[in-house]
Structure 1
Amino acid sequence: MNIEQFKHIYFRLPVIARLLLTIVIVMLVFGSVIHLVEPEQFPTIFDGIWWAIVTGSTVGYGDYVPLSTAGRLIGILLILTGGGVITFYIALFSAFTVKHEKDLSDGKVAYQGMNHIVFVGWNERTKKLIEITKKHKQKTEIILIDQTLTNVPYQQYPIHFIKGDATDDIVLEKANIKHASRVVITADATNNERQADHFTILATVAIRGNNREVPIIVEILTTNQVENAIRAGANTVLRPNDFISSLLYHELYKTKSKPFETIIQLLANNQLHHYELPKELEDKPFLYVLQEFKKDDCLLIGIIRDNEWKLNPKAELKLIKNDILVTLESW
């Protein structure tokens, strides 16, 4: 490698890498020179390099000391050059750390991991989802994409924030969408329902274009956009308005039922679980399997057969191989 090639490679390195390389070169040079000038005081090149690092970093153990005038002059040059370089490196590294933390909070740092969950949209539902996920799946990495937030303190929220539009391929690449395990898109409460659904569908198209396999769960607010969301590539479409309207109806015409808030709390304190049908329960009626699961305080509410949900099926329905059992359990 000639000097021009070295310069080309050197100046293409990041600032911290260049500075670290400079320190290494300076320590090697001074360590080698002091060994040649005072071989009795510094028997090996390694001893000279050790002295150069200790002196240049201003630690000064005193185990190796130059005695000749030439050696002391080398020491003075080392303190003036190497000491300054090391001090500058430490200051620059500290500034880089502070900047990196700020960039994390501001959503400017790309995510490099895999098998993570990507949330699109920041709202109360997202906060609750993050809280529940971290409570029960502590090792799960969560990536948040949002264009309305200015920053998210990563010390306060255990997530990796990416600021930007989820319909933009560059933003999706920063979230490493190609290696995500699943994606959840929540409706933007700051827009009207139609605008919120249009954004959700566009984001679904963009995500599906970058990852053909990842499961995408979306929240759609208007009925006429459900089919469009499915065409766009959504695997699961949730209609929260229908669910809330149903609860409101039952609350409106309740007799002595519990308050509406209590119903919501009851649902919040339970979660759905999926189980493959055990071999010993194959060809058994639904009622029998329900009773078996209830012994373990699991409420069997339905099955998934051939990707079709069957909630509260008939008691005599025979369960077959590859059926997925859906249960409701306490957190």
Structure 2
Amino acid sequence: MPGAPTRAGSETTAAARRPGMERRGRVRRVMHAPWFEGVLVVLIVVSSILAVVEVNGGLSSGPALLVRIAGDAISGIFLGELAVRCWTYRLRSRFFGRYWLDILASLPFPSGFEALRILRLLRVLRLLRLGTLLRRRFTGGSGGDFALLLVTTLIVVLLGASISALFEHKLNREHDSLGYSFWWSVFSMIAGEPMDGVPRTLTGRLISLVLAMSGLCVFAVVTGAAAALMTQRLRRLEVHSMDMEELEDHIVICGWDRRAPLVIEELQHSTEEKERAIVIVAELEELPPLNWKIVNRDRVYLLNGDFTKAETLERAGIRRASKAIIMSDKTGNRSDQDRDARTILAALTIEKLNHGIYTCAELLNREHEAHLRMAGVEDVACVSEYGATMMSSMAIHSGISSIIGELLSVQYGNEFFKVDLPASLEGKSFREAMERLIPRNAITIAVERPMGGKRREMALNPEPAFLLQRGDRLVVIARARPDLTGI
């Protein structure tokens, strides 16, 4: 058909986009790292303190200049951080829709304009980012909600103290002191009425009204949160479409059964996959209980829908995903034949939408494997067969189950690793590769060889004289990924 994209063209386009996606993914992971968020927290607190001190004045020219320079320097750091964060977003409109307040709060305001002094208080609004960061760190319960409430209350108190000191000090000398204005704001919020009488300026009266109403809201929110904490054991994991649309290089799990939590735990324990986001596509209203001590809640998303439908997979970002796992879905009352049919349909749809994705699928009946292979699925597993062969192996070779269990799990002991063939081993024999890797605490057991396109052939325990060639990958058993530098 003229003008229709070919499979090769789609693969070329996907390959061309992959480096940029990987770079954005690495930068995004750094910006979500605990140490990076810790630095942001410190800068936010320091910047907010400097903003309040700068607005209220009372400093001589030397210290005032240092405060202004420090505030502008931190604003420059925040603008740089926001610029990098903007680059990681595919849709710039979504970035500005989410961070417009942070941009406004980070803009440096020129000195010498008395009317603009009040605008410097916008820097205090960066404390809202502090609330977001704290909420991310305390996602296991209501701690994040209380942290956000605490930060919001602090913002209201600081703004109330700064504005009251800025406008009231001319008619009320007590407000010359920033400390007095701060405690006046605190007690006005708690009491629900202005302390030490009604303010003398219109602005002061408006601020006292805002503080009184904020105190009532805080009391209501705390009471409601405490009641919810007593009755709610599990919080529903919400997925926002905006977050989903920004995911890249992630893993999509289609279907759900009792083994799915273990799959998620294994993926997040893997050094290669632990930083990837995981999107679960299943007909579930809410995510079943997971071990949140092991699983990173920030990296797990639930999308309620039918994974055999293209529009549902599009919402899961399947075009930008790096891997797809199709499990034999047991959420509905379906026969084994229907489950395999849904697996095949999902595989065909996934490969059609993203030719470059790596897909592995589970079947209940091995007879249907040919359909998945024709669709382009790289790996097919018939778990029931594996269970039967393991039981017979246990009967024949007692104690072998512990070895198999350790090798298949990434959470402890030895595991399988695939490593690229070093240039020094090209044209060498399999035996020489084994001897070279033994000092690196790695046992070579197989060779994976590309056969064109996405097809690869696995040679398990080949002959010692088997010659290695460029493009091969070695499959090894080791406790950690071996370093083949200088081998």
TM-score after normalising by structure 1: 0.68
Matching residue's letter, 1:288: E
User: Quick check: which one's strand share is greater?
Assistant: 1
TM-superposed deviation, 1:287: 1.8
Q: State the distance in 1 between where 2:204 and 2:305 align.
A: 52
Q: State the distance in 1 between where 2:403 and 2:421 align.
A: 30
Q: CA deviation digits over 1:61-115, x for unaligned, max 9?
A: xxx9998x8826765555445632675489679989x8xx999725544434332
TM-superposed deviation, 1:158: 3.0
SS of 1:105's equivalent in the other structure is: coil
Q: Who is 1:265 aligned against?
A: 405
TM-superposed deviation, 1:56: 10
1:145 pairs with one of 281, 299, 305 = 281
Q: State the distance in 1 between where 2:205 and 2:387 align.
A: 77
TM-superposed deviation, 1:118: 2.0
Q: Who is 1:164 aligned against?
A: 305
Within-5 A mapping of 1:85-124? 87-88=216-217, 105-110=236-241, 111=244, 112-124=246-258
The answer to which of 317-326 and 232-241 deviates more is: 232-241
1:313 aligns to 2:454 (yes or no): no
Flag the 1:299–1:180 CA change in 2: closer, same or farther, 3 A: same
Q: State the distance in 1 between where 2:254 and 2:355 align.
A: 18
Q: Who is 2:348 aligned against?
A: 205
Matching residue's letter, 1:71: R
Q: CA deviation digits over 1:16-75, x for unaligned, max 9?
A: x9xx9xx99xx89xx69x94x985549xxxx9xx89x94897279xxx9998x8826765
TM superposition outliers: structure 1 runs of 4+ over 6 Å: 64-67, 92-96, 101-104
| Structure possessing the higher radius of gyration over alpha carbons | 1
Equivalenced residue count is 300
Q: CA deviation digits over 1:178-216, x for unaligned, max 9?
A: 332211112235643312211112222333344332211
Flag the 1:207–1:84 CA change in 2: closer, same or farther, 3 A: farther
Flag the 1:301–1:74 CA change in 2: closer, same or farther, 3 A: closer
Q: Who is 2:448 aligned against?
A: 304
Q: Is the 8 A contact 2:325 2:360 kept in 1?
A: yes
SS of 1:304's equivalent in the other structure is: strand
Q: Who is 1:236 aligned against?
A: 379
Gaps in structure 1 of 5+ consecutive residues: 1-12
2:262 pairs with one of 128, 131, 136 = 128
Q: State the distance in 2 between where 1:260 and 1:227 align.
A: 31
1:326 aligns to 2:470 (yes or no): no
Flag the 1:118–1:56 CA change in 2: closer, same or farther, 3 A: farther
TM-superposed deviation, 1:319: 1.0
TM-superposed deviation, 1:122: 2.7
TM-superposed deviation, 1:169: 4.1
Q: Is the 8 A contact 1:104 1:161 kept in 2?
A: no
Identity across matched positions, percent? 22
Q: State the distance in 2 between where 1:237 and 1:117 align.
A: 17
Q: State the distance in 2 between where 1:56 and 1:207 align.
A: 60
Superposed CA RMSD: 4.7
1:292 aligns to 2:436 (yes or no): yes
Q: CA deviation digits over 1:234-266, x for unaligned, max 9?
A: 2322233443444445456x3xx2156445435
Q: Who is 1:7 aligned against?
A: none
Q: State the distance in 2 between where 1:91 and 1:148 align.
A: 33
Within-5 A mapping of 1:3-82? 35=167, 39-41=170-172, 54=185, 58=189, 71=200, 75=204, 78-80=207-209
Q: Is the 8 A contact 2:414 2:479 kept in 1?
A: yes
Matching residue's letter, 2:308: T
Q: State the distance in 1 between where 2:345 and 2:443 align.
A: 38
Q: CA deviation digits over 1:262-321, x for unaligned, max 9?
A: 454354354321111112212111122123223333222221222222222222111112
Q: Is the 8 A contact 1:304 1:324 kept in 2?
A: yes
Q: State the distance in 1 between where 2:467 and 2:383 align.
A: 32
Gaps in structure 2 of 5+ consecutive residues: 1-96, 102-124, 126-154, 451-455, 481-487
Within-5 A mapping of 1:185-224? 185-189=326-330, 191-224=334-367
